[in-house]
Amino acid sequence: EPDGTAILDALGRFTREDVSLLQGIADQSAVSLHKSRLYSASITDRLTGLHNSRYFEDTYYELVAKAVVENKPLTLSLVDIDHFKQFNDQYGHKAGDFILKSVAQCFQDLKRQGRGDHCYRYGGEEFCVVMSDTPVDEALLQLEEFRQKIAAQEFDYNGKILKVTVSIGMAQCGYHSKDARVLFNLADDALYECKRNGRNQVRICKPDAETKETTETKVG
């Protein structure tokens, strides 16, 4: 029975069994590669190249659980492009897609090498950033720098200069909550406060030690 080692016949040629074995290996490799590409496509946002909401759901809860078990900080940030619907209405959806791709590239530049940063396009103009082993105050510096970069950026779209701003809500696993769903809701609440108070800012959700109520720290 073939064991994967090529055996030549008396004339130095592969035997029929060897050819069949090699063909089988090639077929299996092709199937594995195809499955890998399908999976990669299923977790990647086609427009921006960032991971999509499906991959966020697949990984976020695991990342939070790992942070809880290891007693390490993890910061979740929810990012929204301000007034994006009005932007699309004014400049068109192609310009909107251009901005989404440009902001996504800025997210790629934000990621720190070897620090376990994850960036996702959650849907529409909404993005999520998970920074493992990172306290919220440290993440704040990174995201505030990101906010300022977006606000100052002049995006050149077919010779037309476009400008946008972003709002960012943040919460830290362990400090605000160890529950992944609660943490997401707290970050979402902080993002809502950004929108309610003028947008183009970063807000951290912070519990008051005495009242146990949620307050907000604004930057920007």
Classify burial at 97, counting beta carbons within 10 Å of its beta carbon; exposed 0-12, middle 13-18, buried 19 or more. Answer: middle
What is the rounded distance in angstroms from the CA atom of residue 213 to the CA atom of residue 121? 30
Indicate if 125 belongs to the active site: yes
Specify whether the CB–CB gap between 127 and 107 falls below 8 A: yes
- Which among 208, 209, 127 is positioned nearest to 170, based on CA atoms? 127
β-bridge partners, 60 = none
Per the CB < 8 A criterion, the answer to whether 104 and 49 are in contact is yes
Question: At residue 71, what are phi and psi to the nearest 5 degrees?
Answer: 55, 45
Tokens of 3: 């064991």
The residue from 125, 126, 193, 210 that is catalytic is 125
Please give the positions annotated as active site: 125
